[in-house]
Amino acid sequence: MTVAVITHSHCSLHDNGSIHHPECAERLGAINNRMIMSGVDWIARHYDSHLAEREHLLRVHDEEYVDRVFATAPKEGHVMLDGDTGMNEYTLDAALHAAGAAVMAVDLVMAGTHKHAFCAIRPPGHHAGRRQAAGFCIFNNVAVGAAYALDVYGLERIAIIDFDVHHGDGTEEIFKDEQRVLFCSSFQHPFYPFTGADTDLPNIRNLPLPSGTGGAVWREAVEASWLPAMREFQPQLVMISAGFDSHMEDDMGGFNLLERDYLWITKELCQIAKESADGRVVSCLEGGYELSPLGRSATLHIKELAEFH
21 tagged catalytic: no
**pLDDT at res. 19:** 79
Structure confidence by residue, pLDDT tens digits, 127-167 = 999 999 999 999 999 999 999 999 999 999 999 999 999 99
258-299 confidence digits (pLDDT tens): 999 999 999 999 999 999 999 999 999 999 999 999 999 999
**How many angstroms separate the CA atoms of 240 and 107, rounded?**
16
Enumerate the H helices of 176-278 as residue ranges: 215-224, 226-233, 259-276
- Residue 91: pLDDT band (50, 70, 90) is very high
**Main-chain phi, psi angles of 207, to 5 degrees:** -125, 85
The mean pLDDT of the chain is 97
- The confidence score (pLDDT) of residue 160 equals 99
> Which pLDDT score is estimated for 83?
87
**What are the boundaries of each domain within the chain?**
3-307
Residue type, 160: I
Q: Phi-psi bin for 212: left (phi > 0), alpha (psi -120 to 50), beta?
A: left
pLDDT of residue 236: 99
* pLDDT for residue 57 is more than 80: yes
> What count of residues does the chain have?
309
Quote the pLDDT of residue 309. Answer: 86
Residue 197 has pLDDT above 80, yes or no: yes
Give the pLDDT confidence of 92-116 residue by residue, as tens digits. 999 999 999 999 999 999 999 999 9
Architecture of the CATH domain 3-307: 3-Layer(aba) Sandwich (3.40)
DSSP state of 180: T
Show the DSSP H helices in the chain as ranges.
26-38, 54-58, 63-72, 91-110, 141-152, 169-175, 215-224, 226-233, 259-276, 291-307
pLDDT band at 84 (very low <50, low <70, confident <90, very high): confident
pLDDT digits (tens, 9 = 90+) for 234-267: 999 999 999 999 999 999 999 999 999 999 999 9
> Is the predicted pLDDT of residue 18 greater than 90, yes or no?
no
The catalytically annotated residue of 127, 167, 189, 301 is: 127
pLDDT for 1 equals 67
